[in-house]
Amino acid sequence: MTSEIIVNGRRYAAPSEPTVVVCIDGCEQEYINQAIRAGVAPFFASLGERGAVLTGDCVMPSFTNPNNLSIVTGAPPSVHGICGNYFFDPEQGVEVLMNDAKYLRAPTILAEFSKAGRKVAAVTAKDKLSALLGCGLEGVRFSAEKANEATLAQNGVDDLLAEVGLPLPAVYSAELSEFVLAAGVWLMKTMRPDIMYLSTTDYVQHKHAPGTPLANTFYAMLDKYLAQLDAMGAVIGITADHGMNAKTDSIGRPNILFLQDILDARFGAGTCRVILPITDPYVVHHGALGSYATVSSPASLLAEVTQCVAAFEGVDHVLDNRTACARFELPNDRVGDLVVLAKRLFTLGTSEKSHDLSGLTAPLRSHGGLSEQQVPLLLNRPVRRESNARLRNFDVFALALNRVI
Amino acid sequence: MTSEIIVNGRRYAAPSEPTVVVCIDGCEQEYINQAIRAGVAPFFASLGERGAVLTGDCVMPSFTNPNNLSIVTGAPPSVHGICGNYFFDPEQGVEVLMNDAKYLRAPTILAEFSKAGRKVAAVTAKDKLSALLGCGLEGVRFSAEKANEATLAQNGVDDLLAEVGLPLPAVYSAELSEFVLAAGVWLMKTMRPDIMYLSTTDYVQHKHAPGTPLANTFYAMLDKYLAQLDAMGAVIGITADHGMNAKTDSIGRPNILFLQDILDARFGAGTCRVILPITDPYVVHHGALGSYATVSSPASLLAEVTQCVAAFEGVDHVLDNRTACARFELPNDRVGDLVVLAKRLFTLGTSEKSHDLSGLTAPLRSHGGLSEQQVPLLLNRPVRRESNARLRNFDVFALALNRVI
């Protein structure tokens, strides 16, 4: 078997010990910090002494799909093409989910290691990510959401509920993420994969602030499973797809700028098209409200639209396609004409009538902006660093495979 | 008696009912939000229906003294001159605290109302603010810290501990702020001031994240006293001097850039002088670490120093004196040559050996940067707004006196 592979121009040493990368969805660093303070996260607390506690920048937009794909390709969206959960497909002329593997423009580290003969497993919370993360992967891959449907032929495993020993979790639950971790521990015991990727969901983080009881309970659960993987001798790299911040006023009402309404009122209905790339099939817990939007606009109006949007309190940046794609390493053909970023406490919506906020049973917490870019980058072994250069969440496989001591 | 006064170019209607402005030191909006969620802040929760729940920007740097002075003058630091707790006084050629009233360049709303014959009271937590806030004030003014030393001649009240019914609080305590609120309620019962300013301390916020038990206990305490003031018929305006954010990595270690060490190593010891305007006599709970610093540098090196500092991860902006003073309305003669702002999770220090971090018994939380600029702006009455223009925390007196319905 080969001792290393090259994926998207980066070298990855083949693992001599099982290597697990965990993406904790929506893991603002403060969640870990507060769980440690509450005394419920001894594994996380131990990493300062025995491992590496670093901070990395996630890719923009700070959403789930772009970042999961960056982590498994080791590359920014300009390389892998996934720049949102949702986009306006100029080829089809329609707004579509970016869940299909046909949108992926780069091979994954997972697929390449599996093709090189290594045992690879990928477990995600929601099924929406399975097709992208599993693209080209010859091994085990399944979602907790559809664990009951997994078959040997399709997923490389079957009878999952009995094997993992947990019931099928609800899609909006902490248990969906717990199933991912429990399945990871089961896989490590039974199959002992060379490379395993575990990706949770941020249902808890959208609902609960760092240090509050249910957040601490969730991180205690993660801590317990990570400690088990650690005890089984795995090299573990932990990062997040994005952070998470409150997006409300002092009494918990969401701060929303309805961009489509604003632009329709100013330039005429439908003149501009606002796209919210946070949109996916599961928006109940955040109402499709994040801090990042793209706008398509007639070229003749671009300057005026920019000025109009930038004038609103709560808007952090309005960047044209070229500037945004250069700065954030995004694929120019999938971003629209303008990228709008909101400030930490604000979100961007389309039109007021399009957002169903009835599912917001807790004050809105969300992500998408630069304020959610800094995420944990943790390893259970010390790492060699060759410089103090900026780290990215998508360096986690390189750190875990090439740099642990 | 006059029906209005003009202070620093702004008109303030004389109050027909007692008007209380409360500055909750370090009140990131999320503290209130989480206390409401925990069910311990019914007064705050009620403001959405019966009052006004707005957000304002504090002045930069997001520190205590500049913002308290902006609130009581209704003006930015370029007008009142107080641009830090601490600065390099070019006249004396030394670094000094900016606590002395001689540094104040503008009259306060409190002083002007007292001179116009209105009953005015100002109560602060720490004594450091008394001289500045009390400047020209003919009425009641004292600090909780030195409540036992208050005399009729000096402070307009005496025998304070017995009157308020609380023991002298420790300077590092939640009780220091409680004393301020309790004294406010006592003053409202006994003297019924026309105008009262109550300013707390952020000891709790530096130690405890929003939604954690001691933070909720603190906001429950505030809520109880505010409800009492409300029940006595006061118009209440509530704001903050600045927000508060975690400044650590995932396991609670402070993120610090020691600027003086960096500049000494690069340009020679003492070539540049780094000033931390967060510095005051009470730094145990934050180690004098905030997200704002100023740098004095030889003119010939300015471009190089800027480039050197801006290259570090964690640095948000490096602005020259002219740019920073124009953007943040600061007094050019008191700011140094460069203003350095850190990102949300980072702080700026001088040299490693100058910071005593032994008092950091909890993971560092602090302020000073743009990430702590958005603060609550709450009133217990509805307000008329004439536009959606950006609000500032120092609009609170104008809102409470001129705009309540």
ipTM value for the complex: 0.92
Mean pLDDT of chain A: 95
Q: Are residues A208 and A289 in the same domain?
A: no
A310 interface with B at CB cutoff 8 Å: no
Model confidence over A185-232: pLDDT tens digits?
999 999 999 999 999 999 999 999 999 999 999 999 999 999 999 999
pLDDT for A287: 82
pLDDT digits (tens, 9 = 90+) for A232-284: 999 999 999 999 999 999 999 999 999 999 999 999 999 999 999 988 777 76
Chain A interface includes B344 (CB < 8 A): yes
Instruction: For residue B33, give the nearest of A53, A251, A343 by CB distance.
Output: A251
* pLDDT bucket at B1, cuts 50 / 70 / 90: low
Q: Which of B117-121, B237-241, B311-315, B365-369 bottoms out in mean pLDDT, i.e. has the lowest?
A: B311-315
Report chain B residues whose CB lies below 8 A from the CB of A367. Answer: none
Give the whole-angstrom CA distance, residue A109 versus residue A73.
Answer: 5
Q: Are residues A16 and A73 in the same domain?
A: yes
For B358, the enclosing helix (H) or strand (E) is none
Same structural domain for residues B174 and B208?
yes
User: Could you tell me where the DSSP H helices lie in A254-299?
Assistant: 259-267
For residue A83, being part of any structural domain is answered with yes
The CATH number given to whatever domain includes residue A85 is 3.40.720.10
Residue B153 lies in a domain: yes
| pLDDT higher than 90, residue B402 | yes
What pLDDT score was predicted for residue A243?
98
Q: Is B33 close to A343, i.e. CB distance below 8 A?
A: no
Choosing among A27, A62, A251, which should be mutated to test the B contact, i.e. which has the most B CBs within 10 A?
A251
Of A357, A372, A133, the C-alpha closest to A243 is A372
Cα(A97)–Cα(A76) distance, integer angstroms: 19
In a domain, residue A43? The reply is: yes
Kindly state the average pLDDT of the residues B325-346. Answer: 96
- According to DSSP, the β-strands at B374-379 and B52-57 are antiparallel
Residue A230: its pLDDT value, please?
Answer: 98
* Placement of tokens 């902490």 in the chain: A174
DSSP string, A109-160: HHHHHHHTT--EEEEESSGGGHHHHTTT--SEEEESTTGGG--HHHHS---H
* Helix or strand (DSSP H, E) at A29: helix A29-37
Say yes or no: B222 and B236 in one domain.
yes
Taking the CA of residue A266 and the nearest CA in chain B, the distance in Å comes to: 16
User: For A250, which of B32, B255, B343 is closest by C-beta distance?
Assistant: B32
Helix (H) or strand (E) holding B66: helix B64-73
* β-strands B19-23, B195-199 pairing: parallel
Mean pLDDT within A62-74 = 97
Does the residue B251 lie in any domain?
no
Which of B34, B209, B378 has the CB atom closest to A30's CB atom? B209
Which residue range forms the structural domain that includes residue A67? Answer: 4-244+368-403
Instruction: Using DSSP bridges, classify how beta strands B140-143 and B120-124 pair: parallel, antiparallel or unpaired.
Output: parallel
- Residue A371, chain B, CB below 8 Å: the answer is yes
Q: Does residue A255 belong to the interface with chain B, where contact is any CB pair within 8 Å? A: yes
The predicted-structure confidence for B14-70, as pLDDT tens digits, reads as follows: 999 999 999 999 999 999 999 999 999 999 999 999 999 999 999 999 999 999 999
Q: Residue A243 gets which letter from DSSP?
A: -
In this prediction, residue A95 carries a pLDDT of: 87
User: What CATH number did the domain enclosing A308 receive?
Assistant: 3.30.1360.110
Q: Are A46 and A71 in contact (CB under 8 A)?
A: no
Distance to chain A for B369, nearest Cα, Å: 13
Q: Which of B32, B209, B313 has its CB closest to that of A390?
A: B313
Q: How far apart, in whole angstroms, are the C-alpha atoms of residue B176 and residue B66?
A: 21
The conformational region for residue B380 under phi > 0 = left, psi -120 to 50 = alpha, else beta, is alpha
What residues does A13 pair with on adjacent strands? A4
In a domain, B250, yes or no: no
Residue listed under structure tokens 């423009």: A105
Do B160 and B215 lie in one domain? The reply is yes
Give CA angle at A324 (A319, A327), nearest 5°. 130
Segment A136-148 shows an average pLDDT of 96
pLDDT of residue A372: 98
For residue B54, list chain A residues with Cβ-Cβ distance below 8 A. 249
Mean pLDDT of A328-339: 96
**Pair A290, A184 in one domain:** no
Measured in residues, chain B has a length of: 405
The reported pLDDT for the residue numbered A1 is: 61
Q: Are residues B135 and B64 in the same domain?
A: yes
Say whether both A374 and A354 belong to one domain.
no
Q: Give the mean pLDDT of B65-93.
A: 93
Q: Contact A251/A237 with Cβ under 8 angstroms? A: no
Q: Return the residue in B47, B250, B315 with the most chain A beta carbons within 10 A, the one to mutate for interface testing.
A: B250
Which one is predicted more confidently, B236 or A90? B236
Chain B contact for A279, CB < 8 A? no
Average pLDDT over residues A376-389: 91
Name which of B146, B111, B109, B101 is nearest B125 in CA terms: B146
Using the Cβ of B143 and the Cβ atoms of chain A, whether some distance falls under 8 Å is answered with no
Please give the tally of structural domains in chain A. 2
Summarize pLDDT for B86-112 with one digit per residue, the tens: 888 878 888 888 888 999 999 999 999
Strand pairing class (A347-349; A256-258)? parallel
A313 part of contact set with chain B, CB < 8 Å:
yes
φ and ψ of B274, to 5 deg: -95, 130
Give the gap in angstroms from C-alpha A391 to the nearest C-alpha of chain B.
10
Mean pLDDT of A36-44: 98
pLDDT in tens, B354-368: 888 888 889 999 999
CA–CA distance, A135 with A141 (Å, rounded to integer)? 10
Inform me whether the C-beta atom of residue B85 falls under 8 Å from chain A C-beta atoms. Answer: no
Contact A250 B376 (CB under 8 A): yes
- Share above pLDDT 70 across residues of chain B, in percent, rounded to a whole number: 99
Average pLDDT over residues A64-89: 95
pLDDT for res A64: 94
How confident is the model at residue B361, as a pLDDT? 85
- Residue B248 near chain A (CB below 8 Å): yes
Q: pLDDT at position B279, please?
A: 83
Residues A216 and A70 in one domain: yes
